[in-house]
Structure 1
Amino acid sequence: MKLTIHGAAQQVTGSMHLLEIGKYKILVDCGLDYEKDHNVMMNEEFPFRPEEIDVVILTHAHIDHSGNLPTLVRMGFNGQILCTPPTAELTELLLLDSVNIFLRREEKSRKHNRKRPGSGGRQPLYLQKHVMDTVDRFITIGFNRPFHVTGDVELTFIPVGHLLGAAAVILKINDNGTEKTIAFTGDIGRKNYPVLNDPQELPKVDYIVSESTYGGRHHTKDKTIEQTLVETINTACIKEQGRLIIPAFSIGRTQALVFSLNKIFSSGLLPPVKVFVDSPMANASTGIFRKYHNLLNEEAHDFYNRKGDEFEFDNLSYVENLHESRQVSNYFEPCIIISSAGMLEGGRIQDHLYHNIQNYYCTILFIGYCAKGTLGYRLLRGDPIVHIRDRDLAVYATIKKTDLFSAHGDHDDLINTIKSQDPGILKGVFLVHGETESMQMMADTLQADGYKVTIPVKDIVYEL
Structure 2
Amino acid sequence: MKLTICGAAEQVTGSMHLLETQGYNILIDCGLDYEKDTYQEENQHFPFNPADIDVVILTHAHIDHSGNLPTLVRLGFHGQILCTPPTADLTELLLLDSVSIFLSKQQKKGRGRGSGPAPLYLQKHVMDTVERFVTISFNKQFKINDRISFHFVPVGHLLGAAAVILEVNENGVTKKIAFTGDIGRKNYPVLVDPEPLPQVDYLVSESTYGGKLHTTDSSLQEQLIKYIDETCLKYPGRLIIPAFSIGRTQALVFALNKIFSEGLLPRVQVFVDSPLAIFATDIYRKHHHLVNDEAKDFYQKRGDEFEFDELSYINDKRESLSISNYHEPCIIISSAGMLEGGRIQDHLYYNIQNYYCTILFVGFCAKGTLGDRLLRGDPIVRLRGRDLMVYASIRKTDQLSGHGDHEDLMNTVRTQNNQQLKNIFLVHGEQSRLLSFQQALQQEGYQVEIAKKDQVYDLN
Q: Which residue of 1 aligns with 2:14?
A: 14
Kindly state the Cα deviation for residue 37 of structure 1 after the two structures are TM-superposed: 3.6
In the TM superposition, what are the counterparts of 1:216-235 in structure 2 within 5 Å? 216-235=211-230
Kindly state the Cα deviation for residue 27 of structure 1 after the two structures are TM-superposed: 0.9
How many residues are matched?
459
Is 1:92 aligned to 2:92, yes or no? yes
Q: Which residue of 2 aligns with 1:71?
A: 71
Kindly state the Cα deviation for residue 394 of structure 1 after the two structures are TM-superposed: 2.9
In the TM superposition, what are the counterparts of 1:1-400 in structure 2 within 5 Å? 1-111=1-111, 114=112, 116=113, 119-400=114-395
AA matched with 2:14 = G
Taking a change above 3 Å as real, the CA distance of residues 34 and 374 of structure 1, as seen in their structure-2 partners, is farther
AA matched with 1:35 = E
Kindly state the Cα deviation for residue 33 of structure 1 after the two structures are TM-superposed: 1.4
User: C-alpha separation between the residues in 2 aligned to 1:391 and 1:177?
Assistant: 67
Q: Deviations over 1:193-214 (max 9, x none)?
A: 1111111100000011001111
Match of 1:150, SS?
Answer: coil
2:107·2:115 contact (CA, 8 Å) conserved in 1? no
2:33·2:39 contact (CA, 8 Å) conserved in 1? no
Kindly state the Cα deviation for residue 401 of structure 1 after the two structures are TM-superposed: 0.7
User: C-alpha separation between the residues in 2 aligned to 1:317 and 1:153?
Assistant: 48
Match of 2:48, SS?
Answer: coil
2:425·2:448 contact (CA, 8 Å) conserved in 1? yes
AA matched with 1:23 = G
Match of 1:36, SS?
Answer: coil
Match of 2:387, SS?
Answer: strand
Kindly state the Cα deviation for residue 277 of structure 1 after the two structures are TM-superposed: 0.3
In the TM superposition, what are the counterparts of 1:442-453 in structure 2 within 5 Å? 442-453=437-448
User: C-alpha separation between the residues in 1 aligned to 2:376 and 2:314?
Assistant: 30
Kindly state the Cα deviation for residue 290 of structure 1 after the two structures are TM-superposed: 0.7
2:106·2:115 contact (CA, 8 Å) conserved in 1? no
AA matched with 2:119 = P
Kindly state the Cα deviation for residue 351 of structure 1 after the two structures are TM-superposed: 1.5
Match of 2:426, SS?
Answer: strand
Q: Which residue of 1 aligns with 2:416?
A: 421
Taking a change above 3 Å as real, the CA distance of residues 72 and 273 of structure 1, as seen in their structure-2 partners, is same
Kindly state the Cα deviation for residue 296 of structure 1 after the two structures are TM-superposed: 0.8
User: C-alpha separation between the residues in 2 aligned to 1:450 and 1:80?
Assistant: 38
User: C-alpha separation between the residues in 2 aligned to 1:90 and 1:15?
Assistant: 17
Kindly state the Cα deviation for residue 39 of structure 1 after the two structures are TM-superposed: 4.1
Match of 1:90, SS?
Answer: helix
1:35·1:373 contact (CA, 8 Å) conserved in 2? no
Q: Deviations over 1:415-439 (max 9, x none)?
A: 0100110000000111111111111
Kindly state the Cα deviation for residue 103 of structure 1 after the two structures are TM-superposed: 0.9
Kindly state the Cα deviation for residue 384 of structure 1 after the two structures are TM-superposed: 2.7
Match of 1:451, SS?
Answer: coil
Kindly state the Cα deviation for residue 36 of structure 1 after the two structures are TM-superposed: 2.2
Structure 1 runs not aligned, ≥5 long? none
Kindly state the Cα deviation for residue 271 of structure 1 after the two structures are TM-superposed: 1.1
AA matched with 2:124 = K
1:358·1:394 contact (CA, 8 Å) conserved in 2? yes
1:29·1:57 contact (CA, 8 Å) conserved in 2? yes
Larger deviation, residues 59-68 vs 171-180: 171-180
Is 1:462 aligned to 2:451, yes or no? no
Kindly state the Cα deviation for residue 386 of structure 1 after the two structures are TM-superposed: 2.8
Q: Deviations over 1:47-68 (max 9, x none)?
A: 2111111111100001111111
Match of 2:144, SS?
Answer: strand
Structure 1 length-normalised TM: 0.97
Match of 1:44, SS?
Answer: coil
Q: Deviations over 1:147-201 (max 9, x none)?
A: 0112111010000011100000000001232211000000001111111111110
AA matched with 2:141 = P
Kindly state the Cα deviation for residue 240 of structure 1 after the two structures are TM-superposed: 2.5
Taking a change above 3 Å as real, the CA distance of residues 109 and 206 of structure 1, as seen in their structure-2 partners, is same
Structure 2 length-normalised TM: 0.98
Q: Share of identical aligned residues, percent?
A: 68
AA matched with 2:229 = N
Q: Deviations over 1:287-332 (max 9, x none)?
A: 1111111111111111111111101112110112111101112212
Kindly state the Cα deviation for residue 391 of structure 1 after the two structures are TM-superposed: 3.4
User: C-alpha separation between the residues in 1 aligned to 2:374 and 2:147?
Assistant: 50
Kindly state the Cα deviation for residue 121 of structure 1 after the two structures are TM-superposed: 1.6
Larger deviation, residues 165-174 vs 102-111: 102-111
User: C-alpha separation between the residues in 1 aligned to 2:385 and 2:118?
Assistant: 20
Match of 1:34, SS?
Answer: coil
AA matched with 2:95 = L
User: C-alpha separation between the residues in 1 aligned to 2:368 and 2:120?
Assistant: 19
Structure 2 runs not aligned, ≥5 long? none
Match of 1:35, SS?
Answer: coil
Kindly state the Cα deviation for residue 385 of structure 1 after the two structures are TM-superposed: 2.8
Moved over 4 A (4+): none
Kindly state the Cα deviation for residue 38 of structure 1 after the two structures are TM-superposed: 4.2
Taking a change above 3 Å as real, the CA distance of residues 330 and 462 of structure 1, as seen in their structure-2 partners, is same
